[in-house]
Amino acid sequence: MSTATPSTTAYALPDGARPWQLHGDRALPADPSTRAAAREIYQQTRALPIVSMHGHVEAQTIDEDLPFGNPAELLVVPDHYLVRMLVSQGASVDRLGVAPVDPASSVVPEQDPRAVWRRFCESWHLFRGTPTRYWMEHELVEVFGVAERPSAESADRIYDHLDAALRSDAFRPRALFDRFDIEILASTDPAWSPLTHHANLAAAGWGERVVPTFRPDPLLHLDRPGWRGDVDLLSEAAGLDVTSYPTYLEALRERRAAFVAAGARATDHGHLLADTTPLSDAEAHRIFDLALSGVAPSPAEAQAFSGHMLFQMAAMSAEDGLVMQLHPGVLRDHDRSVLATFGADKGYDIPVQAEYTRSLRPLLEAFGHHPGFRLVVFTIDETVYSRELAPLAGVYPAMRLGAPWWFLDSPDGMRRFRETSTETAGFYNTTGFVDDTRAFCSIPARHDLSRRIDAGYLARLVVEHRLDLDEATETAVDLAYTLPKAAYARRG
C-alpha cells in the first residue's frame, strides 16, 4: 500500500509557514514500550497490497477512468460522514452541494464548489477526535500533498492545489488504483445490474482486480417503495417473466449465476433485523403473490418474508459458493423528509439494537457446517461482540466475524472489537478489514488506520508476554492480507 504523492506542482505555502506533517506514530499506543513493538509490527504490514472485499466504489469509475470532478465534488458532497457532521452543526444539506433527487424541485443546491469547500475547511475543528479527521488528513497530506491544515484562511489555497492535481493524469482512477496498490476491489451492485462495466474491465485485463458483489436487498423487502418496479428490472435482467414465487426464485438464481460468471465473490444483505426464520412454501407463496398483485402485505408479513429470503439466500450461497455478507442493525434514512428530497445515504442512517443468537439459529443449524457455505456477519451494535457474535463465530465453521463497520471503524471502536472478540473467536474466525466506502481516495487511509490499530493491540499482547513478536507480526500480516483473501475466496 503506497500513497506517496506523485510529482505535481509544489504546494504554495504562505511565507514563513511550516509545512503540515503527519506524525509517523499516529494511532499507535502511547506507552513507549508498547509503541516500540507496535512500530515494528506495523512496518511489516504498512506496504502490503490492499484487499478491499466490501465497498461501494462503482466499477464505472474504474472502467471509464475519467478525471474526478472538483475538490468539493470528490471529497465533500458524497461523503455522508462529513455531511452529517456539518449538518449537525447547522449547515443544510443543500448548502453542502447535495442536489435534490427531483430536478424540478424548488430546492436549489449550492452551485459554487469553492463555497462548499470553504464551508468544510472553516469547520475543520468539528472533526477533532473522529475517524473522518484521520482519513481526511491522510488523503490531503499523503495522497494529494497538501501542506497546511484546512481553515477559512487556507481554503482557497488548498482548493487550487487539489484542483490542479485532479486535472493531471496521475490522479485519474486507474493511476490511483495502481498507486494505492489495490490488489482487488469489490463493488456492490444491484441484482439487476447488467454488469457492463465489469465486462469492459474484464476485457481490459482488470477482471480479477475489480469484481461485483450481488446486492438483492430492494427485491427482498415487499413493503419497500418501488418494489414492484424493481421486480420488473429483475425480470428484464434475468430474461424471465416473474409471475410467481417460483419464477422469482428462479430469476434470483439466474442473476446470481451471472454475477458468478462476472467474477463475484460475495452477496451483501443490509436488513434491519438478522432474522433468518424460513416460512413454509405455502406461506411464502401467499405473501409474495399478495405483494405481486398490488396488495400491500402487513408489516409483520413483509418482515417475515425478508427473514425467509435471507434463509433462501443462504441456501443459494451453499449451492453457488458466493460468500454471504450480512449487515443488519441500521434504521436507514431516519429523516424521511431528507430522504424524499435528497435521496438515501445522506448521513441519516442510525444504528439500532440487534439480536443475533436466536435470529441466526435457523440459518446456522441448516448451513453452519456446510463445507461450501461462508457467512460473514457485521454489526454496529458492539455490545453483541462478546455476548453473541464472537461465540457464534467461535463454533460454527461457516461463520466469520466481520470487521468493525460504519460507526465502529474508528480507532477506539476497532480496538474494542479486538478486545471483546479475540478471547472467544480468536483472530482466525474474523475476516480482516473491509473499508465499506464509496470515497475512493480514502481507501488507503482506512486500511492504514486498521493496520495501525491491529499493530497496537498485538503489541500489547507482546509486552504482556502473551505472544512472541514473530507470532504477532505473522498475525498482523494475516489480518491485513491473508484473512480477507481467504474469507472471500471462491467456493463454488
> What is the DSSP track for 13-73?
PPTTPPPP---TTTTS-SSHHHHHHHHHHHHTTTTSPEEE-S----HHHHHH-PPP--HHH
Q: Structurally, how many domains does the chain consist of?
A: 2
Are residues 236 and 333 part of one domain?
A: yes
Asked if the structure places residue 8 within a domain, the reply is no
> Are 296 and 391 found together in one domain?
yes
Domain that holds residue 100: 69-171
The verdict on 47 and 164 lying in the same domain is no
pLDDT tens across the length of the chain (492 residues): 766 666 556 898 998 889 999 999 999 999 999 999 999 999 999 999 999 999 999 999 999 999 999 999 999 998 989 999 999 999 999 999 999 988 888 888 889 999 999 999 999 999 999 999 999 999 999 999 999 999 999 999 999 999 999 999 999 999 999 999 999 999 999 999 999 999 999 999 999 999 999 999 999 999 998 999 999 999 999 999 999 999 999 999 999 999 999 999 999 999 999 999 999 999 999 999 999 999 999 999 999 999 999 999 999 999 999 999 999 999 988 999 988 888 888 889 999 999 999 999 999 999 999 999 999 999 999 999 999 999 999 999 999 999 999 999 999 999 999 999 999 999 999 999 999 999 999 999 999 999 999 999 999 999 999 999 999 999 999 999 999 999 999 876
At how many degrees (to 10) do helices 32-43 and 443-463 cross? 130
Are 114 and 262 members of one domain?
Answer: no
Q: Could you tell me if residue 408 is inside a domain?
A: yes
At 166, list the grid cell.
485532479
Classify residue 3: in a domain, yes or no.
Answer: no
User: Which is nearest to 458 in space by CA: 430, 418, 424, 487?
Assistant: 418
Quote the CA–CA distance of 427 and 199 in Å, as a whole number: 36
Shared domain for 204 and 349, answered yes or no, is yes
Separation between Cα atoms, residue 404 and residue 144, nearest integer Å: 27
Helix (H, G, I), strand (E, B) or coil at 184: strand
* Inside any domain, residue 93: yes
Same domain, 162 and 307: no
Residue ending a domain, among 109, 141, 171, is 171
User: Do 466 and 388 sit in the same domain of this protein?
Assistant: yes
Please indicate, yes or no, whether residues 167 and 285 belong to a single structural domain of this protein.
no
| CATH code of the domain containing 153 | 1.10.2020.10
Q: Are residues 274 and 137 in the same domain?
A: no
Any domain includes 199: yes
CB atoms closer than 10 angstroms to residue 135: 26
Single residue among 108, 139, 171 that ends a domain in this structure: 171
Do 47 and 99 lie in one domain? The reply is: no
Residue 12 lies inside a defined structural domain of this protein: no
> Is position 13 within any domain?
no
The answer to whether residues 297 and 350 belong to one domain is yes
Contact present, 213 and 268 (Cβ < 8 Å):
yes
pTM metric for this prediction:
0.95
Residues 51 and 90 placed together within one structural domain of the fold:
no
Q: Is residue 19 part of a domain?
A: no
- Which residue among 171, 199, 219 closes a domain? 171
Sheet containing 399-401: which strands, arranged edge to edge? Answer: 189-190, 213-215, 266-269, 323-326, 375-377, 399-401
